Structure 1
Amino acid sequence: MNKEQLIALGLSEEQADKVISGFGQMVPKTRLDDKINEVKDLKDQIIQRDKDLTELKKQADGNADLQTKFEALEKQYKDEKVILETKIKETQMSSALKLALAGKVHDADLVTNLIDKTKIELGVDGNVSKGLDEQIKELQTSKSFLFVQETKGSGIKGATPPGGDKGGGNTTDVGVNFAKMANEKASSNNNDNNPWG
């Protein structure tokens, strides 16, 4: 509040000046509550630190306990490392299989799940080196619908129209033939058969 607001409330100018001068020495309640909570949090942290220090002192006295905890953590980390390495290998295997099956199957994920990965070997480059071809052949016979059919020439070709390509490989456009005929007729001065002229 300022002086004018206090005067509007009915205080005299002198009283308003005294309130304003005294207000500078007061702390708002919200600020006081914040400071009280901050001090409480700090005290709680000190109490927790004291407890932690006491626990550390107890553990330092019994080195066997520290060694046991260390060994338990070491075993936990080794187990987690094995799990992570297994997941990495599975991911590499899955990626290599999908890459090898790309363009050959309709659904690479489905076919990958049907393949026995224990029989697959990956090369140094990360690609499948052994074990996939045999399994693909088995799946092609038992579940051929999973595979993209290869389009092979049937040996049957369309008939060649009369006057068409006779094996010389010289294919011409109908428009080119028509233009050639029109030019030949125009060069001959025979206007009897010319419908345009």
Structure 2
Amino acid sequence: MKRKFLEDLGLEKEAIDKIMAENDNDVNAAKADYDSMKQERDTMAAQVAERDKQLEELKNSTGDTEALKQQIITLQADNQAAMEKYDADMKELKLSTAIKLALGESAQDSDLVAGLFDKSKLILSDDGKVTGLEEQLKSLKKEKAFLFKEEKPAQVQIKGGKPAEGAGTPPSDKKPSEMTYSEMCKYLETNPGAAIE
């Protein structure tokens, strides 16, 4: 989504900033999902190729059945170990991605702060939700606030107000004693605390 499109709709800057921030969060989440699925696909493709190679070797091998049975058992054990490693790697990738998404732009150094999370206490559900992440993030923000960027409160914009004009002194062409009542009121309104002689 382009900022100019929202500006052309006549939205205020604060509303545009909020929409763009939410859009960035959605894009980052989608990119993280894409990267995760791409890595998962590449890993699966490599495993399928390895298994195809193993099956081809078994097909072409000749020998006694006991040796073939032993080779099959060994290959099954290797494949099981490979699958367990793959599952562990995928869990690690999903947890790391979830942590980085939770941090967003709030951390001074997201890689450093991501390393402070205790992943053993995080629970990854089947739907991709991570339990315990928010609690650890709040705790880190409280205990190690210096690692996070200062959150600036949204600035309130007052419409219709004009900044004060002048430097706090009466116009050079009139003394306060020469001003009319309305000129004096206007002068005091634009210069609060001005001394009147």
Bin for the TM-score computed over the shorter chain: 0.3 to 0.5
For the pair shown, the structure with the greater C-alpha radius of gyration is 1
Relative contact order higher in (CA < 8 Å, ≥ 6 apart): 2
Query: Could you state the TM-score of these two structures normalised by the residue count of structure 2?
Result: 0.45
What's the TM-score once normalised by structure 1's chain length?
A: 0.45
